[in-house]
Structure 1
Amino acid sequence: MQVNPIIRPDLPQKDNRFSALVGADKWLQLPQAIRQRFGKRVKGGDSVAYQGIVTEMNMNWAGFILAHAARILGAPLPYDMSCVGQPAVVTVTEDIAGNGQFWIRQYGRQAGFPQVVHSSKRFAGPTGLEEYIGFGIGMALNVEAAEHALMFKSDHYFLSIFGRHIRLPKVISPGDLVIGHHDLGDGKFRFSLCLKAWLFGEMLSQDAVFRDAKK
């Protein structure tokens, strides 16, 4: 007699979307902890939260201007150097309506309200993954496996208007963005962000260390 597996809708289910972008062979080379974090799919509308602390942040004058100018778009880039040593929280919520996830990053500051960054990841587009920050602005991401890390690298930026994607010329794009998820073992991981431009060099970088959500 065949026994069908019991599926608990209240528990995270298997998610093959990130592994498909990386490729089966390279996916298996990643640490198990990374595969577990990016290989689970929570029930639609539910969230997973990771708590941590910002450990490092740097920006040059060009990064300072860009980060503060982007505040009119919802502050998608960290802009306050006082966030170092302050608590950080990342919340990932499954998008019920679409094929993607909502990400909320909260960075504490020494004074005032914390900075909150909203974005939406959708498994679509020429690279298979797009991230939207609002106002129709988004970027296509390449997902790559590195040593003990899963890397998200900007391929190009675009405007989405009336269902059309208008690719922005590289000369007016903010730069090459690389985001990393580095496993540290013992249920911890490092989040890294680095924005570089050919004209201004490394404009902005940030590191934060998080721990796995309690089950």
Structure 2
Amino acid sequence: MKQASVSPHHQILRDTRFRELVGKDAWRALPEKVRKRFGYRLREGASVVYQGKVIGMRISLTGRLVAQIARLVGGPLPYDASCLNQPAVVTVTEDCGGSGQFWVRQFGRAAGFPQVIYSSKRFAGPTGIEEYIGAGIGMALRVSVDRKGIYFESDHFFLQAGRRKFRFPRWLQPGALTIAHKDLGQSRFLFSLKLRSRWLGDLLQQDAVFHDMQERRYG
């Protein structure tokens, strides 16, 4: 498994945005490696690339339907179980203008082109952080931590039109989305995405293991 890489022409800077979201005490309880991964940002729109492998993929029939419908607004959910045991790549780019981060997730498939998922995280909104998935649709996230890692849970979904945001009613939301980042030791971490419906149970879950960056220089 290859290690993550970062352009040597861009300096990595310390960042306190995630620490401020969870509080200093909770931040200290995190594994040191997790604090390092979420305690930096890149200057001038530089990117960092993490490479890994999908180790788990479960999706129900309803989950497939939801993921296919979501492709109409950018395809933010994994929809093909053939990504299991295939390579995965995540690219994070600093959004200098929007004070956030651009995320691009690429998951290989057993046949055909890989699935590519785009999103943008912005440090804004009632919960302090939002993720935009396309077509003006986004979700406010609640952030929590424990001694294993950091977790992002959907609080609500919304549609942004200009400067106004319209919250979706609960019956129109696909379910509760949880993204986990857990440290595995040996410079590895687990990325886990889970979508669960209040009425239909688990719709999908994807797990992938990634490797840390080779080096990190703080400014």
Shift of 1:60: 1.0
Shift of 1:214: 2.5
Segments of 4+ moved more than 3 angstroms = none
Q: What one-letter code is carried by the residue in structure 2 that aligns with 1:186?
A: Q
Shift of 1:61: 1.2
Corresponding pairs, count: 208
Residues of 2 paired with 1:147 and 1:204: CA distance? Answer: 25
What residue ranges of structure 2 are gaps of 5+ in the alignment?
A: 1-8
Check if 1:129 corresponds to 2:110: no
Q: Is the 8 A contact 1:51 1:213 kept in 2?
A: no
Residues of 2 paired with 1:147 and 1:171: CA distance? Answer: 34
Q: Is the 8 A contact 1:45 1:96 kept in 2?
A: yes
Residues of 1 paired with 2:50 and 2:199: CA distance? Answer: 35
Aligned to 2:194: 194
Residues of 2 paired with 1:48 and 1:143: CA distance? Answer: 22
Aligned to 1:151: 151
Tell which has more relative contact order, 1 or 2 (C-alpha 8 A, sep 6+). Answer: 2
What residue ranges of structure 1 are gaps of 5+ in the alignment?
A: 1-8
Residues of 1 paired with 2:69 and 2:143: CA distance? Answer: 28
Shift of 1:96: 1.6
Q: Is the 8 A contact 2:10 2:44 kept in 1?
A: no
CA distances 1:30-75 after superposition (whole Å, capped 9, x unpaired) = 0000000000111121011110000001011110100111112221
Shift of 1:171: 1.1
Q: Which structure would you say has the larger Rg?
A: 1
Check if 1:164 corresponds to 2:167: no
Q: TM-score, normalised by structure 1?
A: 0.94
Check if 1:94 corresponds to 2:106: no
Shift of 1:162: 1.7
Shift of 1:134: 1.0
Aligned to 2:35: 35
Aligned to 2:23: 23
Shift of 1:10: 3.0
Aligned to 1:60: 60
Aligned to 1:203: 203
- Identical amino acids, percent of aligned pairs: 54
Secondary structure of residue in 1 paired with 2:45 = coil
Residues of 2 paired with 1:213 and 1:49: CA distance? Answer: 8
Q: What one-letter code is carried by the residue in structure 1 that aligns with 2:44?
A: G
Note the aligned Cα RMSD (angstroms): 1.2
Aligned to 1:44: 44
Q: Is the 8 A contact 2:10 2:46 kept in 1?
A: no
Q: What one-letter code is carried by the residue in structure 1 that aligns with 2:76?
A: P
Q: Is the 8 A contact 2:190 2:210 kept in 1?
A: yes
Q: TM-score, normalised by structure 2?
A: 0.93
